[in-house]
Amino acid sequence: MSEEISVHVSEGNDTHMKSDLGLVHMKIQELVQTLVRYKDEPREKTRSEYLDELVDNIIIYYEYNRDLAAYLASFFPPAELVEFLEANQTPRPMVIRTNTLKTKRRELAQSLIQKGVNLDPVGEWSKVGLKIIESQVPIGATTEYLAGHYMLQSASSFLPVMALAPKPGERILDMCAAPGGKTTHIGQLMKNTGVLVANEMNKDRLISIKGNVHRLGITNCIITNYDGRKIGKVLNGFDRVLLDAPCSGLGVIWKDQSVKAMRTTEDIKKNSHIQKELLLEAIDVVNARSSTGGYIVYSTCSISIEENEEVISYALKNRHVKIVDTGLTIGEPGLPKFKGKIFHPSMTKCKRIYPHVYNMEGFFVCKLKKYDNEIPQEASKPHSGEKREKAKKQKTEDSDMEIEEEKVEIEEENEQWSQEKKQKEKDKKDAKRKKLMENTYENEELENLVHDLKEKSKKEKRNKKEKKDKKHEKEVKEEKSDKQSFGDLDINIGDKNAEKKSKKNKNEAKEIKKPKEEELSKPKGKKSVEKEQEISDEEVIEKKKTKKGKAKAEKTHEVEEDNENEESLPVKRKHKEDSSKLKKKRKSEDS
């Protein structure tokens, strides 16, 4: 039950996705129509905004990465862009090439039809190609295939060999030969005469060349394993060279769908650099004075400008070559200008094959004729016979020596420059470190100076405080001693006054007693009694006064003792004055 549910869910998701993709496809069609009629009707958005929207929908529907989708959108008009993308979704028809060394196309077609193969000629432009429409047997496993009667090969790959037009008895180089389809085609056109060199840099791919060469019966072929960019050091003097250069494969996306996601414009630029190096080497190994040749054919399975027209334009500027007619009756002309880039007018002699136009793999084919062996910007002197060969050898040796010397000089300069750079960096670092050390040292000195100043100020404050405290203590001690001395003086004065007063009172009492006694001894009258009474009253008053004076003196003494720590010198003076006044008062009272 759960399996059934999962199946239904997945089916529902598929239908939902299909409906979404259908909407996206409809949107693409609408955008294409809008862009086609953009000039005729007023629009809300700009053309570039509509193109960006188209690219976004192409990414979703056709699963291209943004970089490649934008590149293709800039290359093709909107309507043709969709046709090209749709052509890349479907496979190209299977095509075989008849090996005329072993059979004829009519005989091969008859034998295959007898085995249940439905086929047609590939086109009027080819006399050896057959297009397989339907087959009941595997085409790569028939007795005819194993016997070498035909080669499984794309129709577009016939074109570079047809443009090269090899002749019997020539020396021909296939610079990038794997898997051997073009090599064997050249061999059959040469009718196994002359010398055919099949070179391949990748050692693992040499097996496929070897197998096809043996199966198809090519006997004039030599297989080599060199880097095509340096093959001139080993082999040269060819009549014709075929360079089917490694490329981005933008013309055969149906074969490898990973190109959609993986290929970028950066890859195209890298390939373009390698292609330029290979083409210059291919031109250099061709003999311009060949009686039958002096031709170079350059081809790629890409539609990009950077890998095709730009590479040819580079070769025209750096070597003595010119573009000649390919002799092909199929294909679109090359582009003489593209996005502000203007190429040589003869670029139209090149051929471009588009998959949506010819139902073949995308291809580019250009045929060059070398008219001088010398490299431009170098002095060339006419030579003949052995002298020319010797001069050429000498020149190559001298150029090699110069190149090596230049390389050594460049390496030495680079080494010197790197050492100088390292030294400068080291000096810079040392200077920075020194400056940092100086700054840190200065900062430390400043910090120490500030610390010393702070300590000094603290010490000065401490000393001032100590001096102040000592001075205050001294003053307090002095005040205390002064107060004590004044207090003792007052006490002595008070005691002496009290003694004097007591003596005086005693004497007065005696003096009073004497007349009293005398009066007592006399007879007392009325007046005498009154007088005694007055005297007794006066004595009582006097006693009271003396008691009050003593109490007052004691009180003043207590007050002086309480204010002993608070009084200053002016207070002491005042106290003296008060004591003197008190004494005068007492004297007056006594009197």
Query: Which residues contribute to the annotated binding site for S-adenosyl-L-methionine?
Result: 176-182, 200, 227, 244
Task: State the sign of the Cα–Cα–Cα–Cα dihedral 440, 441, 442, 447.
Answer: positive
Separation in Å, CA 370 to CA 231, 347, 388, 389: 18, 16, 18, 19
Q: Is 301 a catalytic residue?
A: yes
Return the closest-CA partner of residue 161 out of 131, 181, 191, 134. 181
Task: Give how far the C-alpha of residue 147 lies from the chain's centroid of Cα atoms, to the nearest Å.
Answer: 59
Say whether 244 sits in a helix, a strand or coil.
Answer: strand
Q: DSSP letter string over 373-423?
A: SSPTTS------HHHHHHHHHHHHHHHHHHHHHHHHHHHHHHHHHHHHHHH
Q: Are 297 and 367 in contact (CB under 8 A)?
A: yes
Residues 551, 554: Cα–Cα separation, whole Å: 5
For residue 440, what are its two tokens? Answer: 């840190």
Q: Which of 221, 247, 301, 350 is catalytic?
A: 301
Residues 339, 190: Cα–Cα separation, whole Å: 42
The amino acid at 203: K
Residues ≥6 apart with Cβ < 8 Å to 216: 99, 101, 102, 148, 151, 184, 187, 188
Residues 240, 196: Cα–Cα separation, whole Å: 10
Numbered residues of the known binding site: 176-182, 200, 227, 244
Strand 337-338 vs strand 195-199: parallel, antiparallel, or unpaired? Answer: unpaired
Return the closest-CA partner of residue 158 out of 132, 130, 135, 138. 130
Examine residue 138 and say whether the peptide bond preceding it is cis (omega within 30 degrees of 0). Answer: no
Q: Are 35 and 85 in contact (CB under 8 A)?
A: no
Residues 36, 435: Cα–Cα separation, whole Å: 69
For residue 321, what are its two tokens? Answer: 């070559």
Q: Are 133 and 93 in contact (CB under 8 A)?
A: yes
Q: Are 189 and 166 in contact (CB under 8 A)?
A: yes
Q: Are 127 and 105 in contact (CB under 8 A)?
A: yes
Return the closest-CA partner of residue 66 out of 302, 258, 264, 306. 264
Residues ≥6 apart with Cβ < 8 Å to 261: 63, 64, 65
Give catalytic residue positions: 301
